[in-house]
């Protein structure tokens, strides 16, 4: 679109073998996409803005390309190269004004074999062609270059949580058998085995992978089925008007022509390693892997494949991996950008996958809340200077005096601004009078049937993070927008559950103590304080004391929940107020650190570390595990702080140094999203302090004090407590695909969590 006369020309080839390159044009990076009405629309961001892209249905038989003889189908990459060199000479004879422009070869998946083969053929044909071609470089995404180097699907699928250990072992057996067949030049047998194990999924055939995972789609492991939008173009290009426009007439269009795959069957598992090495030594080369791809190329395969090439070739890839990267006009400077970061940034331009939910939120109607009518009375109430913060509301004296009605009235949460009110209560409960230790809570009643709705206690990670993060960032009734104003969340747990958000332990969020001895140092301290809190809480909110009660939390709160649950179980019949515990739910939970210290393996498989870095990471993890076995918990904590966990506190770590990440809860982003911290400023405005009855109590954004008191306990296990709860209550373990830190502590590779129980 810009300066076409001087723009580079890039030839794009799709994978398969046999997929039309019109997929690239209409689904990935071309100037158009096809909407749900089967109409073409302009793509806002397209490679064709600055590059002239040549989309070719390759090989013969793919897309609209055809032959009149069975002998016309390519059977190997040599046939592909022969046909493509003839095509390019005729193409640049016709488009002679672009023949001297810089020329690049690009493609993805199986085209990772086409590109090296064609590139090597162009290189070796210099001076022999009718029309010279100014080849400058190649770009390959998720490329199948050296299959034998890539056959490590078992560990990869285990680490991303799609298979348990037994299933992953079986998958790797398939891979190892196929690798052995490749070494014996039994390529047909190797591909038949991998089609049965895995690759058949790409052709919508039953496979071992599909049977154990339920997946029918292999290009994004967040999706089990192919999105409809990715096939809309197939119908579009066969509309008579479009056929006429692109001059294909009545030519058959096929994305799944069996003849192409059948002719290539004996070539699929062969390597183009030598051709790729030749290109590495002579041209610009970029190789990327997609973060969310399930098949056929694991993220680690980039580093695996590169390390199999001669040393003189590797330097080109290594330098490319450490290049500066620009996103939206902003350069990431000050540190080398590792391979995975470059991949993530490239995905912003090339991937059709949308990360995150729609930023716009729909407000609930006023009648959906208990007290929507009060909204108008507080309109325009945004100035913090006009509001007296008041004093922290300590409810224990009122509870002990039996003044429950007054306590309820005073703890009712006031207006949070120009947003409908949700019925909720907040204040402090004193859990240790002698030490002046007080836990802050915010109790949000269920919008539907609150009298009978289950009550859930939510505890945040850390140790030391405020549970108001859960309320405002994750699942509470509100979120804080970019103007630092509260808005109603359209989907919230509090629609059908009454959620009790508690800043736990003492020192987290608004919770405070007047003595250093008031800080919890272990799970026994946490359980003691929480049992006292719950007895006072259900004395005040006695009408909900018989409702089903659940404990829930994430990350380090996996220890809180297990310890508190066990303490409640063991205290049955001894509490002043009975608590009707029914179950617990833990997300990415720290439960048994020793079992879960496999960071090196995990970070390698998801592509955040190379083999050498991951080996060092795992060696240190193994040392920490040994210290845990010797009950040298403080030393184990120190190792893991320096290695990884210190990233949470903002301190430098080995993980941060080698990856560039200073955020560990989503490996699609390197820094903490600004939207995750807005609530911290919001709750400290005078108007909100007044509304939630915290007065001038300090809000702790720095977790270091709490963490330091927990240092000797961080690496201790609550496996026994967790096992007790599994035997007696409903238990849910859930995990996120993208967490790097608490992922491995809970086992985002789902089977790691199973190890806890063995």
The length of the chain in residues reads 758
Choice among 82-86, 245-249, 442-446, 612-616 with the minimum mean pLDDT: 612-616
pLDDT at 288 over 70: no
Strand partners, 40: 34
Choice among 76-90, 478-492, 693-707 with the minimum mean pLDDT: 693-707
* Three-class secondary structure assignment of 609-662: CCHHHHHHHHHHHHHHHHHHHCCCHHHHHHHHHHHCHHHHHCCCCHHHHHHCCC
Task: Identify the pLDDT of residue 381.
Answer: 37
Are the beta carbons of 550 and 732 closer than 8 angstroms?
no
Phi/psi for 490 (5° steps) reads -65, -30
Within this chain, domains 9-145+230-350 and 366-593+701-757 share the same CATH topology? yes
pLDDT at 751 over 70: no
Which has the closest alpha carbon to 682: 467, 475, 444, 416? 416
Other C-beta atoms within 10 Å of 492: how many? Answer: 22
pLDDT band at 219 (very low <50, low <70, confident <90, very high): confident
pLDDT band at 259 (very low <50, low <70, confident <90, very high): confident
Distance between CA atoms of residues 544 and 754, nearest Å: 34
Average pLDDT over residues 279-288: 78
Higher pLDDT, 32 or 746: 32
Task: Identify the pLDDT of residue 388.
Answer: 83
Q: What percent of the chain has pLDDT over 70?
A: 82
pLDDT tens, position by position, 365-411: 333 333 333 333 333 334 444 678 889 999 999 999 999 999 999 99
pLDDT at 37 over 80: yes
pLDDT at 97 over 60: yes
3-state secondary structure of 455: strand
Higher pLDDT, 536 or 258: 536
Burial label for 134, CB within 10 Å (0-12, 13-18, 19+), is middle
3-state secondary structure of 532: helix
Distance between CA atoms of residues 233 and 231, nearest Å: 5
Average pLDDT over residues 159-165: 87
Residue bearing tokens 């003189």: 312
pLDDT band at 173 (very low <50, low <70, confident <90, very high): very high
pLDDT at 224 over 60: yes
Domain boundaries, the chain: 9-145+230-350, 366-593+701-757
Instruction: Count how many Cα atoms sit within 13 Å of the Cα of residue 2 in the half-sphere of its side chain.
Output: 6
pLDDT tens, position by position, 312-339: 343 333 333 333 323 333 323 322 323 3
pLDDT at 748 over 90: no
Average pLDDT over residues 597-605: 87
Phi/psi for 5 (5° steps) reads -65, -35
Higher pLDDT, 281 or 31: 31
* Three-class secondary structure assignment of 559-588: HHHHHHHHHHHHCCCCCCCCCCEEEEEEEC
Other C-beta atoms within 10 Å of 238: how many? Answer: 14
Task: Identify the pLDDT of residue 750.
Answer: 38
pLDDT at 359 over 70: no
Helices 404-411 & 523-540 angle (0-180, nearest 10): 110
Task: Identify the pLDDT of residue 649.
Answer: 63
Instruction: Count how many Cα atoms sit within 13 Å of the Cα of residue 368 in the half-sphere of its side chain.
Output: 15
Tokens of 578: 């009975």
CATH label, 366-593+701-757, candidates 3.30.1330.10, 3.10.180.10, 3.40.50.300, 3.40.50.1820:
3.40.50.1820
Tokens of 274: 């030598």
Task: Identify the pLDDT of residue 290.
Answer: 52
Instruction: Count how many Cα atoms sit within 13 Å of the Cα of residue 270 in the half-sphere of its side chain.
Output: 17
Task: Identify the pLDDT of residue 405.
Answer: 96
Task: Identify the pLDDT of residue 257.
Answer: 66
Choice among 91-100, 384-393, 660-669 with the minimum mean pLDDT: 384-393
Average pLDDT over residues 422-433: 96
Distance between CA atoms of residues 394 and 514, nearest Å: 14
Mean pLDDT of the chain: 83
Higher pLDDT, 272 or 345: 272
Tokens of 521: 């140092």
The domain made up of 9-145+230-350 is a member of CATH 3.40.50.1100: no
Average pLDDT over residues 458-462: 89
Which has the closest alpha carbon to 593: 387, 422, 428, 746? 746
Average pLDDT over residues 453-469: 92
Choice among 50-59, 192-201, 297-306 with the minimum mean pLDDT: 297-306
pLDDT band at 531 (very low <50, low <70, confident <90, very high): very high
Task: Identify the pLDDT of residue 160.
Answer: 82
Task: Identify the pLDDT of residue 238.
Answer: 96
Higher pLDDT, 290 or 273: 273
What torsion, rounded to 10 degrees, do the Cα atoms 745, 751, 755, 758 define?
150
Tokens of 658: 């080698």
């Amino acid at each position: 679109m810009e300066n076409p006369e001087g723009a580079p020309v890039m030839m794009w080839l799709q994978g398969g073998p046999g997929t039309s390159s019109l997929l690239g044009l209409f689904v990935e990076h071309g100037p158009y996409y096809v909407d749900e009405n089967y109409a073409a629309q302009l793509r806002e961001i397209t490679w064709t803005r600055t590059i002239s892209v040549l989309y070719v249905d390759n090989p013969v038989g793919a897309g609209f390309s055809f032959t009149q003889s069975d002998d016309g189908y390519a059977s190997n990459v040599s046939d592909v190269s022969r046909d493509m060199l003839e095509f390019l000479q005729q193409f640049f004879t016709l488009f002679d004004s672009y023949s001297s422009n810089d020329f690049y070869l690009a493609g993805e998946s199986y085209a990772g074999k086409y590109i090296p083969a064609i590139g090597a053929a162009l290189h070796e044909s210099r001076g022999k062609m009718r029309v010279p071609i100014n080849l400058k470089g190649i770009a390959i995404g998720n490329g199948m270059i050296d299959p034998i180097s890539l056959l490590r699907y078992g560990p990869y699928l285990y680490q991303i949580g799609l298979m348990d250990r037994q299933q992953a072992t079986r998958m790797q057996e398939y891979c190892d058998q196929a690798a052995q067949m490749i070494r014996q030049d039994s390529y047909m047998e190797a591909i038949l085995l991998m089609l049965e194990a895995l690759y058949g999924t790409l052709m919508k055939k039953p496979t071992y992978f599909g049977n154990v995972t339920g997946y029918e789609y292999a290009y994004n492991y967040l999706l089990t089925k192919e999105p409809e939008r990715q096939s809309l173009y197939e119908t579009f290009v066969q509309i008579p008007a479009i056929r006429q426009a692109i001059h294909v007439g009545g030519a058959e269009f096929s994305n799944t022509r069996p003849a192409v795959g059948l002719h290539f069957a004996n070539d699929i598992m062969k390597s183009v390693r030598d051709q790729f090495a030749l290109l590495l030594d002579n041209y610009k080369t970029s190789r990327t892997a997609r973060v969310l791809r399930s098949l056929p190329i694991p993220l680690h395969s980039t580093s695996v494949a590169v390390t199999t090439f001669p040393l003189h070739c590797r330097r080109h890839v290594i330098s490319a991996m450490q290049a500066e990267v620009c996103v939206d006009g902003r350069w990431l400077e000050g540190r080398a950008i590792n391979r995975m970061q470059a991949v993530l940034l490239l995905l912003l331009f090339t991937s059709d996958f949308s990360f995150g939910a729609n930023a716009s939120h729909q407000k609930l109607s006023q009648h959906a809340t208990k007290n929507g009518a009060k909204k108008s009375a507080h309109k325009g109430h945004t100035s913090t200077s006009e509001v007296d913060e008041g004093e922290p509301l300590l409810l224990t004296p009122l509870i002990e005096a039996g003044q429950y009605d007054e306590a309820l009235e005073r703890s009712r949460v006031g207006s949070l601004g120009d947003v409908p009110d949700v019925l909720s209560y907040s204040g402090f409960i004193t859990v240790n009078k002698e030490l002046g230790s007080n836990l802050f809570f915010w109790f949000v009643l269920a919008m539907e049937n609150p009298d009978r709705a289950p009550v859930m206690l939510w505890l945040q990670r850390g140790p030391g993070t405020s549970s108001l993060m859960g309320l405002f960032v994750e699942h509470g009734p509100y979120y804080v927008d970019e103007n630092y104003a509260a808005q109603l969340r359209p989907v919230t747990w509090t629609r059908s559950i009454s959620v009790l958000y508690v800043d736990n332990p003492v020192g987290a969020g608004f919770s405070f103590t007047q003595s250093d001895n008031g800080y919890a140092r272990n799970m026994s301290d946490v359980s003691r304080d929480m049992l006292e809190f719950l007895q006072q809480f259900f004395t005040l909110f006695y009408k909900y004391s018989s409702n089903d009660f659940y404990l829930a939390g994430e990350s380090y709160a996996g220890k809180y929940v297990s310890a508190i649950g066990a303490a409640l179980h063991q205290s049955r019949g001894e509490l002043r107020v009975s608590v009707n515990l029914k179950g617990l739910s833990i997300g990415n939970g720290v439960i048994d650190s020793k079992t879960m210290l496999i960071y090196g393996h995990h970070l390698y498989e998801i592509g955040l570390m190379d083999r050498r870095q991951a080996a060092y990471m795992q060696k240190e993890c193994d040392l920490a595990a040994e210290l845990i076995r010797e009950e040298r918990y403080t030393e184990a904590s120190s190792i893991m702080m320096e290695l990884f966990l210190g990233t949470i506190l903002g301190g430098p770590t080995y993980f941060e140094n080698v990856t560039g990440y200073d955020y560990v809860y989503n490996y699609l982003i390197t820094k903490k999203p600004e939207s995750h911290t807005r609530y911290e400023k919001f709750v400290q405005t005078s108007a909100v302090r007044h509304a939630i009855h915290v007065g001038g109590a300090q809000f702790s954004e720095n977790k270091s004090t709490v963490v330091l008191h927990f240092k000797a306990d961080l690496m201790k296990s609550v496996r026994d407590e967790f096992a007790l709860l599994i035997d007696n209550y409903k238990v849910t373990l859930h995990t996120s695909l993208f967490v790097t830190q608490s992922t491995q502590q809970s086992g985002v590779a789902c089977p790691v969590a199973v190890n806890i129980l063995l």
